[in-house]
Chains A and B, each alone.
Chain A
């Protein structure tokens, strides 16, 4: 039974280690120091001075540094400056030497290692290079002895297990005992301060009347000092840096024990466990424990190296190495050949301990491509390690034989509580009963009672021999009683693994595929291959991560606001269908018709869900809408057929149940598909009324407003889109019980609109959007935005709150328009000036047009005809004088570019006045300066060319005219507001405001630059 013995011994060892580790309270402190020492010597390359400093500081960053140094193969240190740590106990020294020894053992063969040559004598004494092994052993024994001596005192207490509660009580501090004082110190200097106090105590001896100083890792900013009187504390900390004596608080007796009670965090590290690195280049990387040294708190781990060979080569050659590493090299197995090609020295050595061969490159050890590294226990995390499959796969790659069992041990360690349930099929994976299958009968903590399915089990033949065997198996404690009586076996749960057979239907309950269900296709040891129910793909999971279940789920189907199979808009304006939801990301099949492109997208990278009922046209101009069955006629998915799930920008997402990739989704251009059978007849009635109301002659609007898209422009596309843009706008309900109510559009779905009523604090859903203002509007005024007619609410802008985002813009935009402009108004009042007659000047305060302007600039404006040279009907012309303003204006007017369009929107072509200087842009001609002579009823002007109006007379359309911005001290004419028509002088410009001295009244007014025009010299 060699195995058993092994286990047993192991256990003993462990116990010893634990004992040693568990009993110190204050020694903890020193231990930590030791740790640092190790680290330091290990990493080497630090000057004595620096090292000295670092002895005192537990600085994560420092450790980090060291880690990194390590990576690039710190030469083993020469032991200068050790004297600095005078107070460091000899254990630490011993440990160091020990370590040196071990490492030196391999370094022996290095000839050119400078570190080796400069050794000091102190070191040599301990070194017997020829017999490293014996040396080692002796040292270990020596070390053990020392430890025994050192801790003998306290271990007595440890063995005294009979301590009763009463006795324990007696140990509690009482009033007569020294008290604990909490003293404030600099953050991060807690340890330093404590160590300084220790030094002070050593130096001053009994002068210091404090009993102890304690720095706790978890308590920042404070240390504890044990002393009888506060005065003693004050005395002790006098003259010390980093400690602030002003605030000394007494710790109540009751709480004193809490200060020093250590939450036992037994690190259960054993060989072959999986851990993760906490610091350095390998931070977060999975590592496998090869060796644990509980005494020195060091662990030898196996990692996949992240080494930039080139950088390493450079470094070893002594060439300049970029100080700052811009990136962390990806993990890759060390390829010795490659290294040799880069002229990196690779040595092959035998490890004196294990007898294995290692490749040594620049101080780093490699085996089978893995990096073998010895690190401090503190720099690895052992809790909750859930290695992903990929990681484990990688670890397995080089040598297949090593794998399963080893990896299992940690997987088991991280099991959740209540892992096994009654009825689970299990298999024993360790010990004598390995491979015995059974069912769980009962679960007690740590032990699982199983009913073996093997009939001929030695239930009755269990002699004393068997008894002995089992009692030795510390881990697999067999409750023999139950063994006999109930024919169940009690097995430690760490020795059990769930067991499945092909064909079982299971559900994954942890790991990356959590939530998925499927059928077991294959069992490979403790790894199951499952055929997922939804994706029909193979999933590899650990047997431990699944339970048998008849449930059929897709796994996670929702993350954030997005669900599986949603069409989403991605960050970079591309779009796609979510085909899989993972724990933190989505797999999205992008809307690229030519080839299936799947991207992994994080939640935040998704902009929004696209939830629109769009239609597209197929090859023969049939309308395709969602749920229509189409056949793909060309492209990579030719011949596939299925219902359309999403339509966006002329791209169809088709769900083909027989298509196994991408969750059955196929992405194709609408043009390369053909609707199968007839489209549903009533669709025209359902989906289209909106689009068809608004489609005709929306040309000027759509190109500006909508991103061009294939196929979408024909019919419903713009309709749907345009409709959506109404979200957030204020509408008035025309029909039905809510007739006359005003509200904000919250959501539009198909033909229904949800409107949040302003007056009633509630949301109503309206059926047909023609009931709302904008629905009926559009056909009449093709070039207008649908918002116009309901200007009424905007008359009193104060009444409605201005919302941000789109809503805000829309609102402001609305507000800036001619107040109370019912559709008729613009048509029946074409004469200049009349528009202003009913304009309350107040609403044109400087702020409004400015906001207005920005709204125009930001949002593609329906006022801008994007088709230049488009013939203007007189009626539409009335809207267009503003247009030129949308183009870059006269140079020099910094803020004016932005302003001008506002004027356009605001003044609607009635703003030109005679005698002002303008630029006339006739198509095909350069801009000509002219003086407006007369403004016609239709908005066009007669302009006399030449800066003084001496040239030819031309008639210019409003959109060809651009007002020349006045400069400082120019004569101006005011074109808007109450003072319209007056002349004055611009005495200053302040941003978008002009300071004007009005001629008539000699008042100085601040007016918007937008309403000022340069007056022609007469």
Chain B
């Protein structure tokens, strides 16, 4: 789920940037540092929408670096258990398939794929129903439900299922072609 929240961060700035463009520098540095990172609490920081407030800088002894507390508005993405997401399949193997929804990697185990779908190895490994009507392969788009998340320092990893009503393939690259 996406959230628009305000976060705070202490930014350290090298003295050489002190000057008229200090604020710009601060913002660009913030964007560089924060966007794309992941925190267990808030999830992935997708984009910084703006700076809310820049606090008073504090010069650090010895180094001359200045620490600014910066409050910024950003969009974060955090997957939740039970959430329904749409994802693009990135890899299919006999244990299941990996899909990505934005920065989050989701694994759908073959235990969580409907029983009527069978794994087929080969050039493009895929899961296919016995009648061949539904096929999951690389680049397929699927709708899945998150059943578990694991949050690392830099990554959120999810386990999803498509073994539920209204879940499964929503668009097939093969069909489109």
Q: Which residues of A contact B (CB under 8 A)?
A: 502-505, 519-522, 529, 531, 533, 536-538, 550, 552, 658, 660
Residues of the B chain whose Cβ atoms lie less than 8 Å from the Cβ of A529: 109, 111
Which residues of the other chain, A, contact B159 by a CB distance below 8 angstroms?
Answer: 502-503, 519, 521, 531
Q: Which of B7-15, B48-56, B144-152, B168-176 contacts A (4 or more CB under 8 A)?
A: B144-152
Q: Are A660 and B148 in contact (CB under 8 A)?
A: no
- B96-140, CB < 8 A from A: 107, 109, 111-112
Are the C-beta atoms of A521 and B152 separated by less than 8 Å? no
Query: What residues on A are CB-neighbors of B148 within 8 Å?
Result: 502-505, 519-520
Q: Please pick, from B91, B109, B146, B147, the residue contacting A538 in the complex, using a CB distance under 8 A.
A: B109
Q: Once the chains bind, are A522 and B95 in contact (CB under 8 Å)?
A: no
- Of chain B, the residue at the smallest CB distance from A660 is B93
Number of A-B residue pairs at CB separation under 8 A: 46
A425, chain B: closest CB distance, angstroms: 14
Q: Find the B residue at minimum CB distance from A658.
A: B91
CB-defined contacts of A519 to chain B, threshold 8 Å: 148, 150, 159
Q: Kindly state whether residue B17 has any CB partner on chain A within 8 Å.
A: no
CB-CB nearest in chain A for B153: A552
- Contact at B152–A552, with CB atoms within 8 Å? yes
The 9 closest A-B pairs by CB, nearest first: A503-B148, A503-B147, A522-B111, A521-B109, A519-B148, A502-B147, A519-B159, A521-B111, A505-B150
| Chain B residues positioned under 8 Å from A522 (CB to CB) | 109, 111-112
Q: Do residues A502 and B107 form an inter-chain contact, with CB atoms below 8 A? A: no
Residue among A502, A504, A520 facing the most chain B CB atoms (10 A cut-off): A502
Nearest to A529 among chain B residues (CB) is B111
In the complex, per-residue mask of B82-99: 1 if CB is within 8 Å of any chain A CB, else 0: 000000000101010000
Question: Considering only CB atoms, which chain A residue lies closest to B93 in the complex?
Answer: A660
CA distance A552 to B149 in the complex (A): 12
CB pair A538–B95 under 8 Å, yes or no, is yes
Knowing A521-B111, A531-B107, A538-B109 touch, does A552 contact B150 (C-beta < 8 A)? yes
B122 → A minimal CB distance (Å): 15
* Docked pose: A520 CA to B152 CA in angstroms: 17
A519→B91 CA distance, assembly (Å): 19
CA of A519 to CA of B147, assembled, Å: 10
Residue of A nearest to B146 (CB): A503
Which residues of A are found within 8 Å of B109, using beta-carbon distances? 521-522, 529, 531, 538
- Tell me, rounded to whole Å, the shortest Cβ–Cβ distance linking B70 to chain A: 30
Q: Which residues does chain A contribute within 8 Å of B149, judged by CB atoms?
A: 503
A506 to B, closest residue via Cβ: B148
Given known contacts A519-B159, A520-B148, what 9 new A-B pairs fall within 8 Å (CB)? A502-B161, A503-B147, A521-B159, A522-B112, A531-B107, A531-B109, A531-B159, A536-B107, A538-B109
Question: Is the contact region of chain B dominated by helix, strand, or loop, or is it mixed?
Answer: strand
B112 touches which one: A504, A521, A536 (CB < 8 A)? A521
User: How many B residues face the partner with a CB closer than 8 A?
Assistant: 17
Complex Cα distance, B149 from A538, in Å, reads 16
- In the complex, whether B81 has a CB less than 8 A from a CB of chain A is yes
**A844 CB to nearest chain B CB (Å):** 66
CA distance A520 to B147 in the complex (A): 9
Cβ contacts A to B, 9 pairs, < 8 Å: A503-B159, A520-B148, A522-B112, A531-B107, A533-B150, A533-B157, A552-B150, A552-B152, A660-B91
- Chain B min CB distance to A524 (Å): 9
Nearest chain-A residue to B40 (Cβ)? A550
Known contacts A521-B159, A536-B107, A660-B95; is A503 also within 8 Å of B152 by CB? no
- In angstroms, Cα B112 to Cα A109, docked, is 53
Minimal beta-carbon separation of A26 from chain B (angstroms): 59
- Complex alpha-carbon distance, A531 and B91, angstroms: 16
Instruction: Write out the residue numbers on chain A whose beta carbons fall within 8 Å of the beta carbon of B146.
Output: 503
B153 to chain A, nearest CB (A): 10
Whole-angstrom distance between the alpha carbons of A522 and B159 in the complex?
Answer: 11
Which A residues touch B107, using CB under 8 A? 531, 536
CA distance A358 to B152 in the complex (A): 56
With A and B bound together, what is the CA distance between A536 and B149 in angstroms?
A: 14
User: Of all chain A residues, which has the CB nearest B108?
Assistant: A521
Complex CA gap A229/B128 in Å reads 89
Tell me the bound Cα distance from A519 to B79 in angstroms: 15
Contacts of A550 in B (CB 8 A): 150
CA distance A177 to B159 in the complex (A): 74
Q: How far is the CA of A550 from the CA of B41 in the complex (A)?
A: 14
Q: How far apart are the CA atoms of A619 and B149 in the complex, in Å?
A: 42
Chain A residue at minimum C-beta to C-beta distance from B159: A519
A658 surroundings in chain B (CB, below 8 A): 91
Q: Mark B15-57, 1 if CB is under 8 A from A, else 0.
A: 0000000000000000000000000000000000000000000
Cα separation A519 to B81 with both chains bound (whole Å): 12
**B112 adjacent to A502 (CB under 8 Å):** yes
The CA of A533 and the CA of B149, in the complex, are separated in Å by 11
In the bound complex, CA of A1011 to CA of B91 (Å): 73
Q: How far is the CB of A420 from chain B (nearest CB, A)?
A: 22
Q: Report A857 CB to chain B, min CB distance, Å.
A: 53
Q: Which A residues touch B81, using CB under 8 A?
A: 503
**Closest CB-CB distance, A513 to chain B, in whole Å?**
16
Contacts of A537 in B (CB 8 A): 95
Give the chain B neighbours of A520 by CB distance below 8 A: 148
Nearest-CB residue, chain B, relative to A538: B95
CA distance A592 to B147 in the complex (A): 39
Chain A residues within 8 Å of B112, by CB = 502, 521-522
Looking at the assembled complex, report how far the CB atom of B90 sits from the nearest CB atom of chain A, in whole angstroms. Answer: 8
Taking CB atoms and an 8 Å cut-off, the chain B residues in 55-70 that contact chain A are: none
Taking the nearest CB of chain A, how far is it from the CB of B144, in angstroms? 12
Fill in one digit per residue for B72-85: 1 if any A CB lies within 8 Å of its CB, else 0: 00000000010000
- State in angstroms the CA–CA spacing of A502 and B147 once bound together: 6
Question: Whole-angstrom distance between the alpha carbons of A520 and B109 in the complex?
Answer: 10
Contacts of A521 in B (CB 8 A): 109, 111-112, 159
Among residues of A, the one whose C-beta sits closest to the C-beta of B107 is: A531
| A519 vs B111: C-alpha distance when bound (angstroms) | 13
| B163 nearest CB across to chain A (Å) | 10
Complex: how many Å from CA A533 to CA B155? Answer: 12
Give the docked Cα–Cα distance between A482 and B157 (Å): 42
A531, A550, A658, A660 pick with most chain B CB within 10 angstroms: A531
CA of A533 to CA of B150, assembled, Å: 9
Residues of B within 8 A of A531 (CB): 95, 107, 109, 159
Measured CB to CB, the closest approach of chain B to A418, in angstroms, equals 26
